[in-house]
Amino acid sequence: VGGHYAPLVRHGLQLYVSGQIPRVGDQVVGTGRAGAEVSLEQARAAARISTLRALALLQRALGSLDQVDRILRITVYVQCTPDFTQHSEVADAASDLLHTVLGEAGIHARTSIGVYQLPKNATVELELQAAALA
């Protein structure tokens, strides 16, 4: 962690996962700007990797993903060109993965946003809020 924050904060039954970029080990595997050097499918792959990282943090905090009551909300930031308009299609990759892994508990509220740049030149950054079972 590069600052005074935590990758995940739990407050009661609420879990807040800090922004996750598509990192595997120490390497950011999805970099660049969607609509330029990054295709829609590459951006979607970056969103899936970011989602897997968020799920891994939830699993570590709860002991099992079976303890997730619901994914409440995700925000997907997409580093993109000014004319790129497929932010929702990028975010769909994250939403689809959450539904595949968690079923109905993976259905959530969502915002997708196009941005000029992200940390480490990542194509996608995903943050997530979840509720644990009581």
pLDDT in tens, the chain (134 residues): 568 999 999 999 999 999 999 999 999 999 999 999 999 999 999 999 999 999 999 999 999 999 999 999 999 999 999 999 999 999 999 999 999 999 999 999 999 999 999 999 999 999 999 999 99
Residues 6 or more apart in contact with residue 56 via CB below 8 angstroms:
none
> Do 9 and 16 meet the contact criterion of CB atoms below 8 Å apart?
yes
- Token look-up 């497929």 returns 86
Beta-bridge mates of residue 68: 132
Phi and psi dihedrals of 67, rounded to 5?
A: -85, 0
pTM: 0.97
Q: Which two tokens stand for residue 134?
A: 């009581």
Q: Which two tokens stand for residue 35?
A: 């609509």
DSSP state at residue 36: T
